[in-house]
């Protein structure tokens, strides 16, 4: 005989618990465990119900046209989405409050409205507030359909009546409310239920759905895992509110590459695209300063040059301070350990600060060599040549390893007027061997300085010997 069991499920990570608890044992979230509808459990050996229907299998090989794309006229947004918006897809735009999500989506819908039906539903602001913002952006006359609503049942009913719209913006998913779930707006259950109903409507009616999601204090979207699984594309809008740069980053995309970035600048007339981010990130650089080094990085498909700054100062603390903005602390510790063990530069008695200028967050290990150069430069007080770019990965034995997209990095550096590049040795050799005659004309003025080991970087600073002597074990303090 079938018996029913109660089940308790964490709404954040999906782990099942035998009984209710205030905190989920599996993900550590509070107040996320709720009782789910009892399900029928059949005794062993009894198969449930009648046989299922047979499904059709098809060959993997087949003709499927790539999905048509609708471009927004905001090139940076289109690229991050993989070349435009796909009909019937759901895009989650996450970011800190006040970073510019509403501004970006209002600008995008205003552009799209010229030849598509766009609906902008706000649960956070009043109609008047949105109108004022549109006026400020110079878009008051755009044919965007506006509504202030929070009840998802009403919203879905309106979207399903009549001709379907092409693009729908929900600002924000945390303010939406569905009576199918009985918790308060903003809770994981509500967010999940509302998103589910809206996404289902988007698939059924074939419109592109933008969901705005706020980031919690811990830096994740509320109900993060659930939402990220449900949508097709996840974009994070990030940046430093002290700077005017904003970076839109794709972290998941079923219709395009991830790790692609779009760069914007917040002005008093809204967000402007930044078509040449390297020039922007290097705009405030002052040449011939110690501790500064230009890294030739790749963000998505695009080369981006950024300045890495380091400060090394004698520490009065028992445990010296290590502070990193825009890079990984673990990776910094590794580079310092390699410099210590393989090149004799001990930073043990020093506070270290590392900063990626402009508010960009670098994730590539290719920045290792630039970080090492910035550190050695800061320690010795000797600047890295102002016309040099640096890239390369560092291994634990101190070797400098080749990185991908070398030519793209070099081309961008040449374009911005750099004259030398500190590059991994193996890569430079391999490519010269391949075709020594046809060196790309765009990078012919660039002198390559090959590095095989971190020692090669250290020996470019004549003061490194003094720093080594002052910090060597047994010497100093
Ligand atoms: P907003 O789009 O409301 O952020 P979010 O929806 O992510 O919470 O952006 C608000 C911020 O942007 C606010 O601090 C003011 C600033 N801003 C400008 O600097 N210029 C502008 O033209 C607009 C519309 C906003
Ligand atoms: Mg907003």
In degrees and rounded to multiples of 5, residue 195 shows phi and psi of -60, -40
421 pLDDT above the threshold of 50: yes
Residue 212: pLDDT band (50, 70, 90) is: very high
83-93 residue pLDDT tens: 999 999 999 99
Ligand 1 contact via 95 beta carbon (within 6 Å): yes
Task: State residue 221's pLDDT score.
Answer: 52
Residue 381: pLDDT band (50, 70, 90) is: very high
Q: Are 345 and 470 in contact (CB under 8 A)?
A: no
Residue 183: pLDDT band (50, 70, 90) is: confident
Q: Enumerate the β-bridge partners of residue 325.
A: 355
411 pLDDT above the threshold of 60: yes
Residue 360: pLDDT band (50, 70, 90) is: confident
Which parts of 12-95 are beta strand (E)?
Answer: 16-17, 33-41, 69-70, 85-86, 90-95
31 pLDDT above the threshold of 50: yes
Task: State residue 327's pLDDT score.
Answer: 93
Ligand 1 atom, smallest distance to 95 CA: 7
Q: What is the mean pLDDT of residues 243-262?
A: 85
302 pLDDT above the threshold of 60: yes
Ligand 1 atom, smallest distance to 237 CA: 7
Q: Are 320 and 349 in contact (CB under 8 A)?
A: yes
**At a CB cut-off of 8 Å and minimum separation 6, what does 188 contact?**
11, 12, 32, 222, 223, 226
Ligand 1 contact via 266 beta carbon (within 6 Å): yes
Which parts of 255-318 are beta strand (E)?
Answer: 261-267, 270-273, 292-299, 302-314
Please state whether beta strands 393-394 and 400-401 pair in parallel, antiparallel, or not at all (unpaired): antiparallel
Q: Are 103 and 138 in contact (CB under 8 A)?
A: no
CA distance 89 to 210: 9
31-45, 250-264, 281-295, 417-431: the lowest-pLDDT one:
31-45
Ligand 1 contact via 242 beta carbon (within 6 Å): no
**At a CB cut-off of 8 Å and minimum separation 6, what does 58 contact?**
none
Residue 3: pLDDT band (50, 70, 90) is: low
157 pLDDT above the threshold of 60: yes
Residue 44 or 289, more confident:
289
Tokens matching residue 164: 């379907």
Residue 140: pLDDT band (50, 70, 90) is: confident
Helix (H) or strand (E) holding 180: none
Task: State residue 476's pLDDT score.
Answer: 40
Q: Are 299 and 255 in contact (CB under 8 A)?
A: no
202 CA from centroid of ligand 2 (Å): 22
Task: State residue 391's pLDDT score.
Answer: 96
Three-state SS annotation for 327-356 = CCHHHHHHHHHHHHHHHCCCCCCEEEEEEE
Angle, alpha carbons 401-411-397 (nearest 5°): 10
Please state whether beta strands 208-214 and 292-299 pair in parallel, antiparallel, or not at all (unpaired): unpaired
CA distance 26 to 16: 9
Q: Are 213 and 227 in contact (CB under 8 A)?
A: yes
Q: Which residue of 103, 108, 131 sits with most ligand 1 atoms within 8 Å of its CB, as the best mutation to test the pocket?
A: 103
66 pLDDT above the threshold of 90: no
Nearest CA to ligand 1 atom 18: 268
pLDDT above 70 covers a percentage of the chain that reads 89
Residue 427: pLDDT band (50, 70, 90) is: very low
Q: Where are the alpha helices (DSSP H) in 264-391?
A: 277-281, 329-343, 368-380
Ligand 1 contact via 215 beta carbon (within 6 Å): no
DSSP 175: G
Instruction: Quickly tell me which residue has 């006229």 as its tokens.
Output: 73
**At a CB cut-off of 8 Å and minimum separation 6, what does 473 contact?**
346
DSSP 463: T
Q: Are 466 and 460 in contact (CB under 8 A)?
A: no
Ligand 1 contact via 135 beta carbon (within 6 Å): no
Cα dist from 292 to 7, 354, 355, 376, 401, whole Å: 57, 10, 10, 10, 22
CA distance 59 to 85: 28
Q: What is the mean pLDDT of residues 265-289?
A: 85
pTM, two decimals, is 0.76
Residue 193, classed as helix, strand or coil, is helix
394 CA from centroid of ligand 1 (Å): 40
Q: What is the mean pLDDT of residues 106-113?
A: 94
474 pLDDT above the threshold of 50: no
Query: Smallest Cα–Cα separation from 138: which of 116, 159, 164, 107?
Result: 107
137-141, 318-322, 423-427, 455-459: the lowest-pLDDT one:
423-427
Instruction: Tell me whether residue 193 is exposed, middle or buried, using C-beta atoms within 10 angstroms of its C-beta: 0 to 12, 13 to 18, 19 or more.
Output: buried
Ligand 1 contact via 101 beta carbon (within 6 Å): yes
In degrees and rounded to multiples of 5, residue 427 shows phi and psi of -65, -45
Q: What is the mean pLDDT of residues 272-299?
A: 87
368-379 residue pLDDT tens: 999 999 999 999
């Amino acid at each position: 005989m079938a018996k029913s069991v109660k089940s308790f499920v964490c709404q954040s990570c999906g782990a099942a618990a035998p009984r209710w608890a205030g905190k989920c044992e599996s993900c550590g979230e509070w107040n996320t465990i709720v009782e789910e509808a009892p399900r029928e459990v059949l005794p062993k050996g009894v198969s449930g119900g009648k046989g299922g229907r047979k499904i059709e299998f098809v060959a993997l090989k087949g003709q499927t046209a790539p999905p048509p794309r609708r471009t927004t006229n905001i090139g940076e947004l289109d690229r991050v989405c993989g070349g435009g918006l796909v009909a019937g897809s759901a895009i989650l735009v996450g970011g800190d409050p006040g970073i510019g999500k509403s501004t970006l989506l209002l600008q995008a819908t205003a552009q799209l409205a010229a030849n598509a039906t766009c609906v902008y539903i706000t649960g956070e602001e009043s109609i008047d507030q949105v109108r004022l913002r549109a006026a400020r952006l110079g878009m008051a006359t755009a044919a965007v359909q506006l509504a202030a609503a929070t009840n998802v049942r009403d919203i879905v009913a309106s979207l399903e009546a009549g001709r379907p719209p092409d693009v729908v913006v929900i600002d924000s998913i945390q303010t939406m409310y569905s009576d199918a779930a009985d918790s308060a707006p903003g809770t994981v259950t509500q967010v999940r239920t509302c998103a589910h109903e809206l996404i289902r409507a988007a698939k059924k009616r074939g419109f592109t759905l933008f969901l705005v999601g706020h980031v919690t204090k811990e830096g994740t979207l509320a109900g993060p895992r659930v939402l990220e699984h449900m949508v097709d594309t996840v974009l994070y809008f990030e940046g430093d509110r002290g700077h005017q740069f904003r970076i839109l980053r794709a972290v998941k995309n079923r219709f395009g590459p991830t790790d692609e970035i779009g760069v914007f600048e917040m002005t008093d007339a809204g967000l402007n695209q930044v078509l040449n981010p390297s020039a922007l990130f290097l705009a405030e650089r002052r040449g011939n300063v110690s501790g500064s080094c230009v890294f030739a990085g790749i963000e998505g498909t695009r080369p981006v040059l950024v300045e890495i700054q380091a400060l090394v100062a004698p520490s009065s603390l028992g445990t010296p301070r290590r502070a990193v903005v825009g890079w990984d602390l673990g990776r910094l510790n590794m580079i310092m350990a390699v410099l210590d063990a393989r090149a004799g530069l001990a930073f043990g008695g020093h506070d270290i600060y590392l900063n990626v200028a402009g508010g960009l967050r670098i994730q590539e290990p290719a920045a290792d060599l630039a970080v090492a150069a910035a550190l050695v430069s800061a320690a010795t007080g000797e600047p890295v040549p102002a016309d040099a770019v640096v890239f390369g990965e560092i291994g634990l034995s101190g070797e400098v390893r080749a990185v991908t997209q070398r030519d793209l990095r070099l081309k961008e550096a040449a374009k911005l007027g750099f004259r030398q590049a500190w590059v991994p040795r193996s890569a430079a050799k391999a490519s010269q061997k391949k075709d020594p005659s046809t060196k790309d004309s765009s990078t012919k003025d660039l002198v390559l300085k090959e590095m095989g080991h971190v020692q090669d970087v250290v020996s470019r600073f004549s003061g490194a010997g003094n720093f080594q002597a002052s910090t060597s074990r047994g010497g100093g303090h």
